[in-house]
Structures are given as structure tokens and as C-alpha cells.
Structure 1
Amino acid sequence: MSGVDENVSAMLASSASGTTMMIIVQLASRIFTFTANQLVLRSLPPAIMGVASQLELYFISILFFSRESIRMAIQRQPLQLKPLTMYSHKDSTGTSPKKSNDVSEARTIASQSVVNMSYLSLALGFLFALAFAASYVQLASREVSELPYYYASVIITSIASLMELSTEPFFTVVQQYMLHRQRAVVEMSAAFVKSLTTCLACAWASRAGHSIGVLPFSIGYFCYSSTLICGYMLALSGVTDAQKFSMLPTKIKSRDRSEYFMGRFSWPMIGLSTNVFFQSVIKHLLTQGDSMMLATMTSLEDQGIYALASNYGGLLARVFFQPIEESSRTLFSSLLNSGGSGHLRVKNIDAAKTQLTEVLHAYSLMAIVGFPLGPVLAPQLLRLLGGRIWASPKISSLLSLYCYYIPFLAFNGISEAFVSSAANSTELRRQAVWMGVFSACFASAAYLFLKVGALGAHGMVYANIVNMAVRIVWSFSFIRKFMSRHGSGMAIAEFSPRPLTCIASVTMSIVLTSKGLYALDIYSTRDALILGAMYILIVSYLERKSLFIYYTKARELVKSKTSRTPKSKGE
């Protein structure tokens, strides 16, 4: 049992470390993007931003369909709990330990198998890039296709997507061996280069008086992918030699001298990724369905306004929620991997449940604070940052409404991360069927709000809330059945805030509304900040026990990481 405890502890420590590093990555990249966007927003009208959001959807779709299912299948493989040794260390006798030099055949085959399998993403990428490019160009409206450098932007973006897919072998090694620091450095560098390039291109065009459409955004994608390739090659140089596998697709030699490309580790992953692919197609339609619906049912101005609200309103989701979701999915996949035996250890189930409930409770506290304060403070922030071109009641009200959508986004992300990690092939196919039902609900809601109600971008936020709500209900139903099947349970009271905290949230919402603090003036901003600070103090007092537990765990994690750090030679 001690070995199990050590494995679980190592997984939890790796997940926490990975989450921390990815939050740093997201925070730094968003700071770069945010700074660049302030200059871009002041020189580009909403219509251009609408086309830029379409180009981003095109880029994301190629990447998602090409690599998402393969990534999820690879993540189900057990983590290498001993990180890669970048350099050999000699003992007191002056010789390198034999244990640090000998790499087992099973570990080498597993590593080479996932690297080989990751190249399937690039192969799929060529197919999807051709299909999406043809459809995107053919179906583009006349207003979009007549933009300067439109076709060049599509071609550059397609090349950039294939270049990013070529980094998948590096990504799999980073994930398998928990090289979070290397990944953080590479992705932060790429985000900085992308933001700088986009900003400089827009600034040059504005100063020179040239109209270049969305070309700066496509150049930004290209520079981002180029930096990823160079960064990963530098960061992981020498790793493959030490671990006896290659970053190129290489035949695997076993002791019986047979040679093959995939290996026994990969065939189950290929079967799983096939099941996940069909489910992920529907999931992508649900996740990016808002952009697709807007592109077909609304004007470019509405698309640009919604893109602004999504970028600013979803900033919290991308900085904090996405890294937590990604690292939690990796942790859940490792804890809930039965290794083919069909039996899960009770301690692993408990560890997965603890991780899930702690994240859900933290999200609940953020929602309790965000519901009253977000809709008031977000428009004030936009007025200061967006400039006069974006200062309008329509945009401010949309950003306020988007604040109510963010908690739904967070709860759906973590709950579906658990489902995708715990579900077997049969359950994944069942989920795909339900995703089809959710797609119908989303399409119906979008049609009612956009066409019948003519609510524009506001209607899309309402449709997204309906979409996330039904998905959350289904995911929690699955989680409760899964826990019950393994002798545990999952009650809402385990992660919800105290009743007094909920009452305080409702009271604060009523106070802010009655005082009319949604107006865009300095006095409303001042009063909202004062009341908001008082409210946060009240919530902190009411939830002091939970906050103290989080603080204690964070200190223990820091101490454990410090104690595991090897001392230098002179110490």
C-alpha cells in the first residue's frame, strides 16, 4: 500500500506543479495578448475583429480535430513518475550510477510508441487543413472575401496550423515526463512573439495608412508556431539520447528482434482515440458553436462585439480554468487508469474525488464573488481599456451578461474532464449520443434567441448558458453514478458554499442594482469598488475554514517541493 500511496502522492504533486506552471504560462501569454490588443482595438473596427474571430475559429478547428482525440488517448497512459534526467550525475566514486543510465525496454517502447502515435495528428492535419480551407474560402461572404489579403491570410494560417501540429511529438514527451518548466518557457516565448508580431504589423499598417485586413493575425499564428518548433527543439535537445528513443517516427525493436512502428502500447490508444474522435467532433461543435452560429446568423459587427466580450470575459477562463482542467484531466486519467485489469484502487478513487470536489468548491466561491461584482466592474474596465470606438451601452451590457456565463464554463470544463478520463469506450459512445442531443438543444436555443428574438450577440450568450447547463447536468449525473458504482458518493453539499454565503451574494446583487452602479461614470466605479471590497471580506470571513484548508495545502505543497529539491554540490 505504501507504493500506491507514493504513486498517488507523486501524481497529485505533479498535477499541482503542472497546474501552477500552466497558470503562469496562461497569465503571461494573456498579459502579452492583452497589451497588444489594446493597440489593436484602438485601430480596428468591430467588423475586422469579426473576421479575425472567424480566422481564429478556422485555426482552432484544424488543431482540435487533428490532435484532441489522440492527446486524450495518450494522456490515459500512466505518467512517468520519475522525471527525465537531463544530465548524468556522478557519485562520490566518480562513476555514474548504473540505475541512471539503464533505461528499461518497456519504458523505451512506451515512449517511442506515443511519439510515433503523435505523428497521426500531423497526418490528419493535412486532410483537415485542405478540407477546411476549401470550405472556408468557398463559403465566405462577399464582404469577407473582398478584404485585403484575405486569401493570403487563410493560406498562412493553414501553414501555421500544420507547423503547430508538428510539435505534437515534443508535447507528448513533455506530458509523459512532466517537463512542465520546459513547456512553460517555450509557450510563454511563443505567446510573446505572437503578440509582438501582431501588434507591430497592425501598428505599421495604421501608421503607413495601409489596409491589410486580418493579415497581422495570420502572421501572428505563423510566428507562434515557428517559435514553438524552435523552442521545443532547444528545450528537449539531448533528452532522446539519454532515454533511448527518437522524436522522429522510428521502428521499435523489442527483445524478440521484431520491429514495428506502433507497438503494443499504441493499439489500445488508437482504438480509444477513434471512439473519442467522434465524441470530440460533437463536443467541438458545442464548444465553438457560438462562433459558427454567429458567422451564419449575424452581422460582422455583432461577431466582432461578441469576440471582444469572449476575449475579455473569457480571460479568467483561459488563465485559470483551462490549466486546471488540463492538469486535472491528466491526473484523473492516471488515477482512474485500471491498467487493463478493470479494477480501480479505493485510494485512487478517493484521490480523484478529493481533487474534483476541491476544484468545484473553489469554482463555487469564485462564482459567488463574480455574480454580483462581475457585471458591474467589467464594463468599467472595458471603458478604460477599449477606447472610444468600443465604448457603447450595447457592448457594456454584453460584457456584463458574459460574466454570468463564465461560471457555467468553469463547471462544465472540470466535470467533462472527469468524464473523459473515467468513461470507458461504451460510455464514451453513449456520451457522444447525448452530445448530439445537446447539439440539438443548443441549435434550437440559438435559433430562438438569434432569429426569433433578434437578440444578436446577447442571444448567443443566453444560448451558451443553456448549452453548458444541460451538459453540466449530464456530467454530474455520470459522476454520481461512477462514484456510486465504486462504493463512494458525490453530493452537492460537498462542494457548495455555505447558505449564509449564498444569501450574502444575493443581497449584494440587490444592493448594487438598487444603487444604479451599472452606469459608466467615475462615481459609480468608486462606489462599486468600495462595496465590492466589503463583500469580498464578508465572503472570506464566512468561508474562512475552507480558505484556511487551501492555504495549509498550498504551504505543504511548497514545503514538499522544497524538500525534494536536490542540494547543489557545495551544500
Structure 2
Amino acid sequence: MVKLGDARMGKILASSATGTSFLIMIQLASRIFTFASNQLILRTLSPVVLGIAAQLELFQVSILYFSRESIRMAIQRQPISPASEQPSDETDDATKETQSVSSQAVVNVSYLGLVLGVPASLMFTMMYQRLAPGEASKTAFFNYSVMITGAASLLELSIEPFFAIVQQHMLYEKRAAVEMPAAFLRSAVTSSVFIYASQVNYHLGVLPFALGHLSYSLALICGYSWALLKGSKLEGFSFLLVRVKASNPSNYFLGLFSRQVTSLAINVFFQSLVKHLLTQGDTMMLAALSGLEDQGIYSLASNYGGLIARIIFQPLEESSRNLFSALLSPDENGNLNDIHVRTTKGHLIDILRAYQLLSVLIFPLGPIMVPQLLHILGGRQWASPKVGDLLSVYCYYIPFLAFNGITEAFVSSAASPQQIRKQTVWMGVFSACYALAAYMFLEVGNLGAYGLVLANIVNMIVRTIWSYGFIKEYLHRNGCSFYTSEVAIQPASFTLCAAASVLMSGHGFGSQNLGIIQACALSASYGLLM
């Protein structure tokens, strides 16, 4: 049995490593396509239009987040063996039936995302059209763009049954084969429509971005249908909403929805309300307190400055969450495998140490290199000290974002429903800390968009501290100690990084405010990581 468990764990780890590679490929391809598309239109795209496009993206992200995020998180807590470990002819019927029931259960629960998406889409569409700034509402095709984006969100939610199976069976290769062409199509449609409109001197506002979102959703539907319905080797379940043939029907509400998964999704849903405010708080505050030009500048800074986070950190966080969920799933008696717990700890430590080493490079080099690249790529229209300085400050935010992402991935994989409710309460405290920090930096310190970046850093710090405390307590409770000395790299490395950052920043920062921001960010980062 031990050998069998070790073999299963080895296959899970191999699938996770392969999955991370494919997820990085997806993000890399998506960002390259988006980057190329932006470069084609950036020199003729005004900050105002980009600001409206940022609001439109926030509008779509809000619909998708509230509709599917909690359900996806709950489904990830119901892992199954990787595709390479699917039952063979020699596997007994009971095992096949168990995996079939598990797959059908997650398919059924995923339909709740579409159920939530319909009212969410209608609500956010009406709210955005009514509360949008006058400058945005007067833009050409604004209402059509909003309605198209809302429809695109619903279409994207319709692929959730496919996505649930892809994630549960770790079919990352199929996901990459679907999402990379879809990302290319979105970029191609956005840039081609915008370029054509510019050539004929016809102003379309943000309609090209809305059409890009719509093309992406349609491509996902076609791609996943082709990849999973045609020649699929997964048997014993349906992608339709059908009754679960379980040995214990009482575990399923209406015979369709797993009570355990649905209950967990409900707990995570209320947490996601607060978490979304924390994650998108900067964009929301800018939308409420700043003009469209400032929003466009901040959108550009966050998009360019967050490339590393989206290409590397986000795939690692997602694949690690799947791995943690698989390794920390209790057995029939509610007990955890000691080997799995130690493996989880080792994986977490490796990532945390790698993030620290990457931070050593980001802090001194990022603030100098990113503004120079923007000057080359963005043209004179975006080559302003305000944009360059904001990008420099944003580089300090990226490591905090990474550490918070991986620690919260552990929490979401290991926490019980009661602990998730407790975290939700703490999220309210974090929201208060974030609001206070934003007020101090924006109103008292008068730092503008720079202050928002610092407020985000405070937000990430308090959330990471709580998650780190949960991880230590969780591992200790399961017989696996977890010490800070196991995670932190040598203090000399951070000392060298601090010296290099100070020396190099002397050539890149010219304002007193930026000097203060740099000192705060460096102090906070070294205090947190050491």
C-alpha cells in the first residue's frame, strides 16, 4: 500500500510539474499576443480610451469572479487521479464508479456558475451603464460595448463544465491547446478592428476591446467542445446536468449537487466578495476618484509591471493549489497522509525560497529597466515621467503579490469550511487596513497613484502574515514543524539587494516622493521576508 501511495504521489507531482509548464505557456502566449496587439495600437490609443477599456475589463472580471470563483475553488478541493492514472481494464468496477461519480458531481456543481452569472451580468451591466463617468458614456458605441462584454461573460461561463473536468483530471495540455488560440484570436480581433477604424478615420471607442472579449469566449466554447467531446477518453459521466448515480444519494442535493462541494462553495462565495474588493480595490478607487486619463496610465503601469506576476506567479499559484488540494485530501477516516503533508511543505518552501531569490533581482533591476522599455515601446505619447515613475514603484509590489498568492493558495486548499469563515472575518479586517493605508497615502501623503501601490503592498503584507500563521499552525497540528529559518535565504543576500537597489535607484528616481516610496517598500519587504 505504501508503494502504491508513493507511486500515486509521484504521478500527482509529475502532473503538477507538467501542468505548471503548460500554464506558464498559456500565460506567456496570452501576454505575448496581448503585448503585440497593444504595440500595434498603443501609439494611436489615447489614455482616455485605455482608461475606459480598463473599466470594461473590471466590469467583465467582476461578473466572472462573483459567478465562478467560489465554485472553482470548491471543485479544486475534490481532486481525482491525474489522467495518466485513470483506471485501466484491470481496475475494479468500484474504482471506476467512484471516479465517474466524482466527475459528474463537479460537472453538475460547475453549472451553478452559469446560474449565478445571469443575474450578475444583468446587475453589473445596469450598474455600470448608470454609474459610468459622463466622459465614458459619451464615447462612441459605449452601451453596445458594455452589452457585448456582458454577453461575452455569460458565454465564457458556459464552458465551466469543461473547465471543471480539465482541472480535476489535470488535462493541462488540452487547456493549453484551447486557451492559447483563443488568446491569439482575441488579440487579433481587437487590433485588426482598431487598425481598420483608424485607417478609415472612424472612431469606435472601446468597441474593439468588447469584440475581442466576445471572440475569446466563442473560441473557448468551440475549442473545449472539440477537445473534450470529440474523441474524449473520459467515460462514465456526462457534460450535461444529469443525476449522480451515487451509492449514498443523501449526499447530493436534488440528486444533482454534492452537498459537501456546494457548502464549501457557499462559504468561499462570501469570502470572495471581500477578496474581490481587496484584489480590485485599486482599480475601483481609481474609477471612483480619478479621471479616465489617470486610469489609463495606471492600467498601462499595472499591465506592463504585472507581466512577471501573470506569466510566472499566477500559473505556479494555480498548479500549486491543485497539487495542495490533491495531497491534503483526507482519506475515508478523515486522516492525512504524513508523506503527503511533508511533500506539500517541501513544495511550499521551494517556491517561497525561489520567490525570494527572484525578488533579489526584481528590486534593483525592475525600476530601472521597465521605464526604459516603455519609452522604447510606447512612443512619445506614453513617455512621461509620471508613467515611468509609476512603473518603477509597481515593481516593488510584484514580490508581495507573489508571496500572498502562494500562501493563500495553501490556505484555500487546506482550510475547512469553519476556517474559511474565520478567514472571511479577517478579510474584513484586511479591508479596513487597506482603506486606512489608502487614505493615509492618497489623502494625507498626497501620493496619488503611487500611494495606491503602497496601499496594495500593505494589503498583501497583512494577508500574507495571516496566511503564514495559518500554514505554521496547520502543519504543526499535522505533525510537521515549519520554521521561518527553513524558508528565509541568507540575510547577506537581502543586504546586497538593498545596497544595489539604493545605488541604482539614485540614477532612476528624481522626486522626493519616489525616494520615500522606495524606502517604505524596501523596509517592508526585507522585514517581511527575513
**What is the TM-score when the length of structure 1 is the normalising length?**
0.85
**2:347 matches 1:346:** no
Offset from partner CA, 1:73-122 (integer Å, 9 cap, x none): 11111222343879x9xxxxxxxx56599982222221111111111100
Instruction: Give 1:58's aligned residue.
Output: 59
Maintained 8 Å contact 2:47/2:292: yes
> How big is each residue's C-alpha offset from its partner over 1:474-507, in whole Å with a ceiling of 9 and x where there is no partner?
1111111112212222222222222222222122
Q: Which has the larger radius of gyration?
A: 1
**Counterpart check, 1:224 vs 2:216:** yes
Contact map agreement 2:140 2:203 (CA 8 A) in 1: yes
* Matched letter for residue 125 of structure 1: G
Gap change, CA 1:71 and 1:257, over 3 Å in 2: closer
> 3-state DSSP class of the match of 1:83?
helix
Structure-2 change in CA distance of 1:344 and 1:257 (3 Å): closer
Partner of 1:334: 326
Give the CA deviation at 1:257.
Answer: 10
Listed one character per residue, the Cα deviations across residues 39-93 of structure 1 (whole Å, up to 9, x for unaligned) are 221111111111111110110111111111111111111222343879x9xxxxx
Distance change (3 Å), C-alpha of 1:244 and 1:488? closer
- How many residues in Structure 1 have an aligned counterpart in Structure 2? 509
The answer to whether residue 423 in structure 2 is matched with residue 435 in structure 1 is: no
Cα displacement string for residues 246-291 of structure 1 (whole angstroms, at most 9, x for unaligned residues)? 1111223457999978658711000111111101111111001110
Q: Distance in 1 between matches of 2:163 and 2:208?
A: 27
- The aligned counterpart of 1:69 is 70
Q: Is the 8 A contact 1:8 1:351 kept in 2?
A: no
Query: How far does residue 3 in structure 1 lie from its aligned partner after superposition?
Result: 2.1
Does the 8 Å contact 2:389/2:509 carry over to 1? Answer: no
Contact 1:412 1:468 in 2 (8 A): yes
2:481 is equivalent to residue 489 of structure 1 = yes
CA contact (8 A) 1:202 1:216 kept: yes
Instruction: Identify unmatched segments of 5+ residues in structure 2.
Output: 511-530
Corresponding position of 1:417: 409
| 1:235 aligned onto 2:227 | yes
Shift of 1:509: 1.9
- After TM superposition, give the deviation of residue 299 of structure 1 in Å: 1.3
**Amino acid aligned to 1:79:** I
Residues 241 and 483 of structure 1: is their aligned pair in 2 closer, same or farther, counting only changes over 3 Å? closer
What is the rounded CA distance, in whole Å, between the counterparts of 2:320 and 2:365 in structure 1? Answer: 28
Q: Which residue of 1 aligns with 2:169?
A: 177
User: Which residue pairs with 1:13 in the alignment?
Assistant: 14
Query: 2:283 matched to 1:291?
Result: yes
Residues 164 and 228, structure 1, Cα contact 8 Å, conserved in 2: yes
Residue deviations 1:326-347, cap 9 Å, x none?
A: 0101111111111463321211
Residue 23, structure 1, aligned to residue 24, structure 2? yes
* Pair 1:239–1:83, CA change in 2 (3 A): farther
- Give, in whole Å, the separation in 2 of the partners of 1:227 and 1:164: 9
> Structure 2: how far apart are the matches of 1:127 and 1:403?
37
Instruction: Assess, with a 3 A threshold, how the Cα gap between structure 1 residues 513 and 106 changes in structure 2: closer, same or farther.
Output: closer
- 1:419-454 per-residue CA deviation (whole Å, 9 max, x = no partner) reads 111111111111000000111111122223233433
What is the 5 A alignment of 1:474-553? 474-514=466-506, 516=507
Seen in structure 2, the aligned counterparts of structure 1 residues 315 and 513 have a Cα distance that, compared at 3 Å, is closer
Could you state the TM-score of these two structures normalised by the residue count of structure 2?
0.92
Deviations 1:126-182 (A, max 9, x none): 010011111111111211111111100010000000000000000011112221111
Q: Which amino acid aligns with 1:219?
A: L
Return the alpha-carbon distance in structure 2 between the equivalents of residues 242 and 184 of structure 1: 18
For the residues of structure 2 that align with 1:326 and 1:133, how far apart are their CA atoms?
A: 29
Aligned-pair distance for 1:12? 1.2
Instruction: Work out the CA distance in 1 between the residues paired with 2:185 and 2:310.
Output: 19
The corresponding residue for 1:187 is 179
Supply the AA of the counterpart residue of 1:190.
Answer: A
Instruction: Report matched runs for 1:190-229 at 5 Å.
Output: 190-229=182-221
Contact 1:21–1:181 (8 Å) recurs in 2: yes
Residue 524 of structure 2 corresponds to none
- SS of residue matched to 1:252: coil
Q: Comparing 204-213 with 146-155, which one deviates more in the overlay?
A: 204-213
In angstroms, what is the RMSD of aligned CA positions?
2.3
Report the equivalent of 1:321. 313
Secondary structure at 2:59's aligned position in 1?
Answer: helix
Counterparts of 2:503 and 2:183, CA distance in 1: 41
* Contact residue 110 and residue 265 of structure 1 kept, 8 A: no
The residue aligned with 1:543 is none
Whether the aligned pair in 1 keeps the contact of 2:253 and 2:259 (CA below 8 Å) is no
Residue aligned with 2:79, SS? coil
2:250 and 2:384 map into 1 onto residues whose CA distance is 68
1:128 paired residue number: 120
Tell me if structure 1 keeps the 8 A contact 2:367–2:505: no
Distance 1:427 1:483 in 2: 15
Matches of 2:234 and 2:337, distance apart in 1: 33
Q: Which residue of 2 aligns with 1:373?
A: 365
Aligned equivalents of 2:402, 2:444: Cα separation in 1:
29
Q: For 1:422, give the aligned amino acid.
A: A
Between the aligned partners of 1:115 and 1:325, the Cα distance in structure 2 is 23
- Between the aligned partners of 1:259 and 1:12, the Cα distance in structure 2 is 30
Q: What is the alpha-carbon distance in structure 1 between the residues aligned to residue 477 and residue 162 of structure 2?
A: 37
Does the 8 A contact of 1:116 with 1:262 survive in 2? no
| Structure-2 change in CA distance of 1:242 and 1:70 (3 Å) | closer
Q: Is the 8 A contact 1:170 1:247 kept in 2?
A: yes
1:26-37 correspondence runs (5 A)? 26-37=27-38
CA separation in 1, counterparts of 2:180 and 2:25? Answer: 9
Whole-angstrom distance in 1 between the partners of 2:55 and 2:383? 23
Contact conserved, 1:18 with 1:180, CA < 8 A, in 2?
yes
Distance in structure 2 (CA, Å) of the matches to 1:339 and 1:76: 13
Which residue identity does 2:26 align to in structure 1? V
- Indicate the residue corresponding to 1:105 in structure 2: 97
> Does the 8 Å CA contact 1:113/1:261 hold for their aligned counterparts?
no
Per mean C-alpha deviation after superposition, the further-off stretch among 8-17 and 162-171 is 8-17
The residue type paired with residue 128 of structure 1 is: A
Gaps of 5+ in 1: 89-96, 520-571
- Distance in 1 between residues matched to 2:464 and 2:95, nearest whole Å: 44
Whether 2:137 is the aligned partner of 1:145: answer yes
Checking the alignment, whether the CA contact within 8 Å between 1:302 and 1:456 is kept in structure 2 is no
**1:350 Cα shift?**
0.4
Indicate the SS of the match to 2:447. Answer: coil
Question: CA 1:259 to 1:61, structure 2 compared with 1: closer, same or farther past 3 Å?
Answer: closer
Report the Cα distance in structure 1 between the residues aligned to 2:18 and 2:233, rounded to whole angstroms. Answer: 26
| Post-superposition offset of 1:235 | 0.7
What is the one-letter code of the residue matched to 1:195? S
| 1:111 alignment partner AA | S
Pick closer, same or farther for the CA change 1:66–1:340 going to 2, 3 Å.
Answer: farther
Q: Match for 2:278: what amino acid?
A: L
Identity of aligned residues (%): 52
SS of the residue corresponding to residue 52 of structure 1 reads helix
1:49 is aligned to 50
Separation (CA, whole Å) in 1 of partners of 2:48 and 2:267 = 39
In structure 2, C-alpha distance between the alignment counterparts of 1:303 and 1:313, rounded to whole Å: 15
